[in-house]
């Protein structure tokens, strides 16, 4: 008798807790960020296509599908580490380099030598983030703030008037040098 009542009690308890858990699972369902979006978040969004895909999102998709994680040069080492952490895969140095201490590339932006531009609009068509303004047969120029430095506009330009210039450092972007002012007792 005791055995049966114990079983019944336990069974009822199990049912109650089970239904609570089941309800909670539905009610508080977490919309987990799909892996692709998470990877896309990590990628630098330069949209340069150097990874061999037509943009960062496709590459994120490809990584999720099992492609190598080391194909994005603009992201560099940091990005690879982050993706390795996220996907739980082995870190591999950037494709085409041996060690993981690749020199960090200076950030560049495109600059159009405006008096040489013939206004062919080819660069506009190439720019993945619409960072170039101009009209047919009129001078073109790059919106520096929007330019991701992807390089894609340089090649299509028939007159080679686009340069990739390193971004000028400002007091905002300056990274401190290591020089302390020591205060020591003099006497």
Partner 1 sequence: MAHSLLEKIKSGVLWDFPGGVHPPERKSMSITDSVDTLPLTDYYYVPLKQHIGVYSELRVKVGDKVKKGQALTFSNHNMAVPVHAPTSGEIIEIGEHVSSHASGIPEKTVTIKSDGLDESIELQPQSHFHTQSKESIIKALQEAGITGLGGAGFPTHVKQQAQDIEYLLINGVECEPYITADDMLMRNYADEIVHGIEVLAHLLEPKLVVIAIEDNKPEAIAALDEACKDKQQFIVRKIPTKYPAGGEKQLIQVLTGKQVPKGSPPAALGIVSQNVGTCYAIYKAIYTGEPLIERIVTITGENLDKPQNVWARIGTPVEHLLNTAGYHPEDINAQKLVMGGPMMGFNLHSAQVPVTKSTNCIIAPTQQELPPAPPEKACIRCSDCADACPASLLPQQLYWHSSAKEYDKAQDLNLFDCIECGACAFVCPSDIPLVQYYRQAKAEIRQAEVEQEKAEQAKKRFEARAERLEKEKEARLAKHKKAAENRKKAMQSDPSAQDKVAAALARVQAKKAEQTENNTDSAQSTVKSKAEQAIELAKAKRLAKQGETKTSEEFSNTNDNENASDNKSKAQAAIERAKAKRLAKQAAQAQAENTEADANITGAQNTTDAQSDTKADTKSVAKAAIERAKAKRLAKQAAQTQAENTEADANTTGAQNTTDAQPDTKSVAQAAIERAKAKRLAKQNAQAQAENTEADANTTGAQNTTDAQSDTKADTKSVAKAAIERAKAKPLAKEAQQIQTEHDEANASEPKLEENNDKSLQAASSASDTKAKAQAAIAKAKARRQQSDDNAEMNNATQATHEHVDISSDNKAKARAAIERAKARRQQAEQQTNEAASVEENDHDSEQKVRIKAAIAKAKAKREQGQ
Q: Please enumerate in sequence order all residues whose Cβ is within 8 A of that of 48, keeping only pairs 6 or more positions apart, or say none.
A: 73, 74, 128, 148, 150, 151, 152
Out of 3, 30, 32, 181, point to the residue binding partner 1 (CB under 8 A).
Answer: 181
- Comparing CB distances to partner 1, the nearer of 28 and 174 is 174
Q: What residues pair up with 165 in beta bridges, in sequence order?
A: 109
List the structure tokens of 91: 């870190």
Q: Which of the choices ligand SF4, partner 1, none does residue 72 contact, using the CB cut-off of 5 to 8 A by kind?
A: ligand SF4
Residue 98 touches which of ligand SF4, partner 1, none (CB < 5 to 8 A by kind)? none
Least distance (Å) between residue 38 CB and ligand SF4: 14
DSSP assigned state of 98: S
Q: Using an 8 Å Cβ cutoff, are 111 and 162 in contact?
A: yes
Assess contact for 125 and 179: CB atoms under 8 A: no
Contacts with partner 1 by CB under 8 A: the residue count is: 42
Tell me which residues in 138-177 interact with ligand SF4 (CB under 6 A). 140, 142, 147-153, 156-159, 161-162
Q: Shortest approach of ligand SF4 to residue 184 CB, angstroms?
A: 15
């Amino acid at each position: 008798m005791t055995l049966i009542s114990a079983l019944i009690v336990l069974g009822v308890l199990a049912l109650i807790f089970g239904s609570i858990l089941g309800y909670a699972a539905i009610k508080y369902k977490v919309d987990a960020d799909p892996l692709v979006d998470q990877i896309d978040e990590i990628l630098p969004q330069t949209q340069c296509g150097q990874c061999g895909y037509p943009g960062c999102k496709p590459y994120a998709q490809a990584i999720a599908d099992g492609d190598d994680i080391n194909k994005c040069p603009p992201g560099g080492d940091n990005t690879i580490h982050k993706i390795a952490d996220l996907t739980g895969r082995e870190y591999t140095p950037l494709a085409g380099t041996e060690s993981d201490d690749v020199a960090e590339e200076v950030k560049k932006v495109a600059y159009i030598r405006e008096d040489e531009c013939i206004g062919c609009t080819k660069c506009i068509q190439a720019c993945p983030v619409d960072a170039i303004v101009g009209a047919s047969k009129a001078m073109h120029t790059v919106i520096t703030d929007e330019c991701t430095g992807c390089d894609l506009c340089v090649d299509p330009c028939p007159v080679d008037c686009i340069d990739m210039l390193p971004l000028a450092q400002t007091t905002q972007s300056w990274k401190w040098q290591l020089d302390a002012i020591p205060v020591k007792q003099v006497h």
